[in-house]
Amino acid sequence: MAGCTLLPVDMCEQCGLPGEQFYGPGKSMCRSCYRKYRLSIPGRECSLGDCEAKHEAKGYCRTHYRKWLRTGDPDGVNYTPPECSVDGCGTRAHARGLCDKHYKRLRTHGSTDLPTRADRFWEKVDVGHPLGCWIWQGSRHPFGYGGFCSDDGRMSAHIWAWELLIGPVPAGLELDHLCREPSCVNPDHLEAVTHRENVMRGVVGFRSSNGTWGNVS
């Protein structure tokens, strides 16, 4: 098979495509034509055992050459896949020396360790409100109350914050927002009251002696 003769505008005469780098005798072939030229040379076969496939590179056919590039072994027999670098994982590495699970954690949370419930909770809280409210930035109920998935299932975010920082809500009582901001999870802005008291406050509102809502100064 004759090599490609380049036109004055560096176009391959056979395939009609331009090229920036040329190969073969006299550097006269584009990459595609040079590959066909190599495969057409009689007697050039893969150097491994009984493999009779056409030679691709480094004395190997395409299959064994790609194995050699990927593993360093053309047979792929002595290749041991790398394991995840996290202690005790043992799963095959996917990217950056990590398995798929730990790599996704690294991208999502910035660490290969699984964040705790408290970590996940506080990363959704904004404490910069001018009135001292801790505003919930996660999902919310239709009435504005934050929602958080705890070990016991989905619950209101302000209740979870109260139980975390104060303790269990007394039996027969529920939490009322003194700041009248339903997305607030600051325990200082919450008060445990009866259901009747909570409803009455929500209907008519109430003001402390200094004229502000509830007893939040």
Of these ranges, 93-107, 147-161, 184-198, the one predicted with the greatest mean pLDDT is 184-198
Cα–Cα dist 190/206, whole Å: 14
Q: Reply yes or no on whether the pLDDT at 77 is more than 90.
A: no
Q: Reply yes or no on whether the pLDDT at 141 is more than 70.
A: yes
Residue 27 token pair: 């550097």
Q: Reply yes or no on whether the pLDDT at 1 is more than 50.
A: no
> Any bridge partners for residue 214, and if so which?
207
Q: Reply yes or no on whether the pLDDT at 126 is more than 70.
A: yes
Q: Reply yes or no on whether the pLDDT at 216 is more than 70.
A: no
* Architecture (CATH level 2) of domain 117-204: Alpha-Beta Complex (3.90)
| Angle at 205 (CA atoms; ends 204, 210), nearest 5 degrees | 135
- At 9, the pLDDT band (50, 70, 90 cuts) reads very low
- At 98, the pLDDT band (50, 70, 90 cuts) reads confident
Of these ranges, 14-18, 67-71, 117-121, the one predicted with the greatest mean pLDDT is 117-121
Please say whether the beta carbons of 131 and 186 come within 8 A: no
For the full predicted model, state whether its pTM sits above 0.95.
no
